[in-house]
Amino acid sequence: MQFKTEVQKQFEKAGWFESRNTENKLIQKISNYIDLPNHLKDFLKSYCDLIIEDCKPSKSEVINTLDTTIKFIKNNSEKNLPFSDVLYKVGYYYPDHYFVYTDSNGAVFLAGDRYFKISDTFTEGIEKIIEDNWTNYFEWNPETNQWVDEY
């Protein structure tokens, strides 16, 4: 799994390298690893156990990070969120304190005090998180139980 050049550089800074494979560790630490969607297994094999800093285009004192360490993904499926049957943890997003999830189709979500649908496609969703790109996302409206442009 490859990402845009700018995003891939952030993974490299975090310790990713070509042919990196953490699958044995994942099998040992994540009880339902075999049942995870293929796109998530592919991502975790290469990018698990990294803390990736954002590469936002603007200058900011705040550095956002995507943390894919085992401590955040070991209990991997979530069934108690209001907008999906089952979601799978990708990592944790600091400093906003959101879990990053994906569904079986590859959509990417942030879940914390509010819920956001970042993208319908996995690669684009991860890129948007690393780029701190908040365009074309949806927010969950708990009153109507629908994704909306803004709540």
pLDDT digits over 74-104, tens only?
878 888 888 888 999 999 999 999 999 999 9
Tokens matching residue 93 = 């997003």
Number of domains in the chain: 1
pLDDT surpasses 90 at 58: no
Helix (H, G, I), strand (E, B), or coil: what is residue 12? Answer: helix
Are 68 and 90 spatial neighbours (Cβ–Cβ below 8 Å)?
yes
Average pLDDT of the segment spanning 33-55: 95
Tokens matching residue 38 = 């293929």
Amino acid at 100: V
**Which residue range is the domain that position 127 belongs to?**
5-55+62-148
Query: How far apart are the C-alpha atoms of 27 and 53, rounded to whole Å?
Result: 26
Banded model confidence at residue 9, pLDDT cuts 50, 70, 90: very high
Average pLDDT of the segment spanning 62-79: 88
Burial class (CB in 10 A: 0-12, 13-18, 19+), 110: buried
